Amino acid sequence: MSPSPDALEAALGRLQQHLVQLDRELRQTRADYRRVVEFNQGQVRDRLPQLSGYGGLTQQERRVAMLAACGHSNLEVAAQLHVTVHTVKSQMGSILRKLDLRSRWELDHVLRGEVAQAANPGGMP
């Protein structure tokens, strides 16, 4: 007994969804790889600003920045802070603009540096 056309069509739809997801993940992995290479070559590291007090971010922007830098999606940040996804997108734009950054990846590296500097203010190893 062969599968019905409806079952085949449903399976094809699931397969297409998986292919779209794989393509998205591959594109993200390639972009991440390029950023790591640039960072290791000093192209990004030399451009990233040193922050003091999170560059004048509001308290809510600091919360959004920390969650985003930890890898949370806009939807996850919105759910955790009980705001809309649109609000998170708007705040992310404001955060990146205020800190003169281009991406969440740069935000993550700048905030990690800020945390490390706060944990070791004297610069001692």
Task: Report d(CA 60, CA 42) in Å as an integer.
Answer: 31
Residues of the chain with pLDDT under 70: 35, 38-55, 113-125
Task: Report d(CA 28, CA 37) in Å as an integer.
Answer: 14
- Residue 118, classed as helix, strand or coil, is helix
Tokens representing residue 42 in the block:
């000093």
CB 35, CB 105: distance < 8 Å: yes
- Interval 34-53: pLDDT, tens: 767 766 666 554 554 445 55
Task: Report d(CA 125, CA 56) in Å as an integer.
Answer: 28
pLDDT at 79: 93
